[in-house]
Amino acid sequence: MTETLPPARILHAGDAAFVIELGETVDPAINDRILALDARLREAALPGVTELVPTYRSLLVHFDPDAVDGLELLGRLRGLDLEHPGEAPAGRAWTVPVCYGGEHGVDLEEVAERHGLTVEEAVRLHAGGTYRVYMIGFAPGFAYLGGLDQRLHTPRRVNPRLKTPAGSVSVGGIQAAISSVEAPSGWHLLGQTPVRAFDPGREPPFLFAAGDTVRFRPIDAAEFAALAARAADGDPLIRPEPASEHAS
């Protein structure tokens, strides 16, 4: 697919970071370019650059202003071909078990009803999709997913919940998510996975990364309980496959 992508912009984020922005929309082509640029800059290991944070459509470049002249670094970044960063690294493919509805997904019925679907149809639509991990953000390991079926697009709750359980599988607007730790959220909870996207005591502590793809596998409450017990002992429960496994 050929298309014209917006030009790259380098924006100021104070005196210890720049934002390299390659677009302002949710677009897999833009996200691919961000992930490719992230890989290039990690490889380049520019002096003074301390941390890179890829998001949907921008790359936050943290630097240590005591270690490098900010103007010099800005010049170096401007000298890069930001719009042609090459290929994004290949993502991995995950199949994530989810227990839908009931105490594990308290908003499932309401979301189905709002869209004129039966609960079974809503689960089929959600579990039938292939999702792209656009970004890990908000909380440790929290995965923002794109690719939600239009029939499940649901505006965020007017009153966010102050607490939602770890492992919540939710939808908000056009997006879907897998949460990692107990956190406030205004999204609708369709189900819960026993998989711990973040467990600081486990190796590796994190599972998902930007550029990965995710599918869901419905499980019942009994399987959820059995898997949750294993996850509590540090079992990641799922292993990644090459992304081609999810190619349609």
Partner 1 sequence: MSDRLLVRAPGPLATLQDAGRRGYQRLGVSGSGPMDRLAHEAANRMAGNPPGTVAVELALGGLVLEVAAERVRLAFAGGTFELQIDDKPMPWWSCVTVHRGQMVRIGRAQAGVWGYVAIAGGLALPAQLGSHATHTLSRLGGIEGRPLRAGDALALAELEPSPHPDLMLPDPPPAREVIRAVPGPQDDYFTPAGLAAFFGEGYRVSAQADRMGYRLEGPQVEHAKGFNIVSDGTVAGSVQVPGMGTPIVLMADRQTTGGYPKIATVIGADLPALAQIAPGGRLRFQSVSFEQALEARRVMRGWLDRLADRLEPLRTGADLDPARLLGLNLIGGVTAGDPLREGLVP
Q: Which residues bind partner 1 (CB under 8 A)?
A: 11-17, 19, 21, 24-26, 38, 50-58, 60, 62, 65-66, 69-71, 74, 135-142, 144, 180-181, 183, 198, 200, 205-206, 209-210
How many residues are given for the chain? 248
From the CB of 110, what's the least distance to partner 1, in Å? 23
Q: Least distance from C-beta 137 to partner 1, angstroms?
A: 3
Q: How far is CA 96 from the centre of its chain?
A: 14
The CB-of-190 to partner 1 minimum distance in angstroms stands at 21
Instruction: Indicate the residue among 28 and 218 with the shorter CB distance to partner 1.
Output: 28
- Min dist CB 57 to partner 1, Å, is 6
Smaller CB separation from partner 1, 65 or 86: 65
- Report the relative pairing of strands 168-172 and 175-178 from DSSP bridges: antiparallel
User: At closest approach, how far in Å is the CB of 109 from partner 1?
Assistant: 27
Phi and psi torsions of 184, nearest 5° = -70, 150
Q: Which residues have a Cβ under 8 Å from the Cβ of 220 and sit 6 or more positions away?
A: 99
What CA–CA distance (Å, rounded) separates 111 from 154? 7
Rank residues 152 and 210 by Cβ distance to partner 1 and give the closer one.
Answer: 210
User: Nearer to partner 1 by C-beta: 124 or 156?
Assistant: 156
Cβ of residue 212: shortest distance to partner 1, in angstroms? 12
In the complex with partner 1, the residue whose CB is nearer, 181 or 243, is 181
Nearer to partner 1, 26 or 228 (CB): 26
For residue 216, give both structure tokens: 């869901």
Q: Are strands 131-136 and 143-146 parallel, antiparallel or unpaired?
A: antiparallel
Our CA dihedral for 241, 1, 5, 17, rounded to 10 degrees, sits at 10
Count the Cβ atoms, other than its own, within 10 Å of residue 79: 8
Residue 80: CB atoms within 10 Å: 17
